[in-house]
Structure 1
Amino acid sequence: MCRRLLLVLLGLLLAGPTLAADYAPLSGGRFASVLPADGKAAPASLKPFHLRTEPVTNAEFLAFVRRHPEWRRDRVPPVFADGRYLSQWAGPDALPRQPVTRVSWFAAQAYCESEHARLPTWYEWEYAAAADATRADARSDPTWRERVLAWYARPSNEALPTIGGAPDLHGVRDLNGLVWEWVDDFNALMVSSDSREQDGADKLGFCGAGALGMEQKENYATLMRVAMLSSLEATDTTTNLGFRCARSD
């Protein structure tokens, strides 16, 4: 485990008690998703929920691993995470306030359960991510779309920024422009067999065919997230995939 992160975490613990993660309330309601609820045009219907205001950080996940050593890199079974799991912690660029990445769906879900929470559904994540600082749904604004798309032009080999973007209307930060994020139902975003059972060739055909039935094709950034998430297996870890948690009301 990264000695640098351990020393930083020790300093935080000595400085005082760790504050509990903040969760912002979201009202839910009917929402025009890029993935219609009936596969055609019906809006999604969301119950009120709470969403973590920030992605989980390296420091927070390290504290979790120390409390639950079965999720250490050298102990986690391969059925729960691939060989790249938490491998970034061995390098010099892992910072406490960066969003944790290289975490599998299984590990992310286990962390959320430790906060008496869960991973958000796709509809919950998409609903929250549609907001900007003043509007609950800014997706029709070309400036909003261009800002979100600009993130995809950032080279993937650059060090991740730290968490701390401006809060949106709900008080939630960094939903767009920092990392991809796991959702609970990642493997059910398109009508097909479980994505965890598909090989690479199948995934390409699946994503291409599924995209034909999507709404709001001008909202390309959100569609890219759907295609990316639906291509994953639950054990996968990547350098730009993190997570945050949600709670039902």
Structure 2
Amino acid sequence: MNQAAVYLVILISFQFFTCVASEMIQIPSGSIAAFWQSPVNAKEKNKKSVKEVVVNSFKMMRYPVTISEYQSFIKKNSQWDKKNVSSLYADESYLEMMSDKDKSSEAPVTSVSWFAARAFCQSFGMRLPKVSEWEYVAAASELKRDANKDEKFLKRILEWYGEPRTGSLKNVGSIYKNIYGVWDLHGLIWEWVEDFNTSFVTGESREDSSFNKDMFCGAGALSGADKENYAAFMRFAFRSSLSGKSSVWNLGFRCVEDNK
């Protein structure tokens, strides 16, 4: 490779990184109610206080990762090309949505496994969001930082979950922007999180020896933090159905970055 070609590759890589990095939104610190809450002892069973999970400030991508961005990633990381990827890291549905030549390059990339999404983020010094981080930002509507009690907001999310879905996805930035300036957390695609296969629970719940049995046997000791937020239960159920190499036609991702 001659010197001019080397400079061109460096320039393209820099421009792509700058493009991705420039779309980061600063998210302030706060807290969110843990999804599953288990009383530690009999005295606490009648308490109505909700355990909160602290979320430190971080940066989140304004939009989900697009087909165009993922294609650029593959060009520099050929091990994640569909024809090269190991079956350990992606199933047979990996990137099948990219075979549609009519699909817009600005549509979100989907049919991407957790391993692949994680590798993309790590290539830019970023990571996938934790469940608590994603839920914290996704709780925001256009006007409220926490709209988990907003009936209209929750109804809109549930209506999206219940809509018949086709293989056609809109471009990123086409659904709604929340109060932080983050687009399309609901209404476009489902999104990977770093800890998709763990429960979003309080520390007390994790220490409860009966927690795992209760969790999967439906015992009465456990309850959702907000039974009215049925959409959160649906997200929990969806995440629980996945494995790291799952590639679902409407499952994409976005990256986050820790504040330095």
Q: Shorter-chain-normalised TM-score: which range?
A: 0.7 to 0.9
Structure 2 counterparts to residues 224-243 of structure 1, below 5 A: 224-243=234-253
Q: 1:134 aligns with which of 143, 148, 159?
A: 143
Pair 1:30 & 2:31 matched: yes
Partner residue of 2:84? 75
SS at match of 1:30: strand
1:148-159 pair list within 5 angstroms? 148-159=157-168
Q: For 2:190 and 2:220, how far apart are their aligned partners in 1?
A: 20
Q: Which runs of 5+ in 2 are unaligned?
A: 1-11, 202-214
Q: What residue number does 1:183 align with? A: 193
Matched residue SS, 2:159: helix
The residue number in structure 1 matching 2:98 is 89
Residues 148/209 of structure 1: CA separation in 2 closer, same or farther (3 Å cut): farther
Unaligned runs of 5+ in 1: 1-12, 192-204
Give, in whole Å, the separation in 2 of the partners of 1:158 and 1:211: 40
CA distance in 2, matches of 1:36, 1:44: 11
**Equivalent position to 1:107, from 113, 116, 119:** 116
Deviation at 1:65, TM superposition (A): 0.4
Q: What is the rounded CA distance, in whole Å, between the counterparts of 1:93 and 1:151 in structure 2?
A: 24
CA distance in 2, matches of 1:140, 1:57: 31
Match of residue 19 from structure 2: 20
Q: TM-score, normalised by structure 1?
A: 0.82
How far apart in 2 are the matches of 1:78 and 1:215?
Answer: 38
State the shift of 1:157 in Å.
2.4
Q: Within the alignment, does 1:146 sit opposite 2:147 as a pair?
A: no
Larger radius of gyration: 2
Paired-residue identity, %: 39
Is 2:169 the partner of 1:160? yes
After superposition, what is the alpha-carbon deviation per residue over 1:135-157, rounded to whole angstroms, capped at 9, x for unaligned? Answer: 10011111001111111122222
- 1:18-46 Cα shifts (integer Å, max 9, x gaps): 55221111112222232349899411111
Which shows bigger deviation, 72-81 or 24-33?
Answer: 24-33
Tell me: higher relative CO, structure 1 or 2? Use CA pairs within 8 A at least 6 residues apart: 2
User: CA RMSD of the aligned region, Å?
Assistant: 2.4
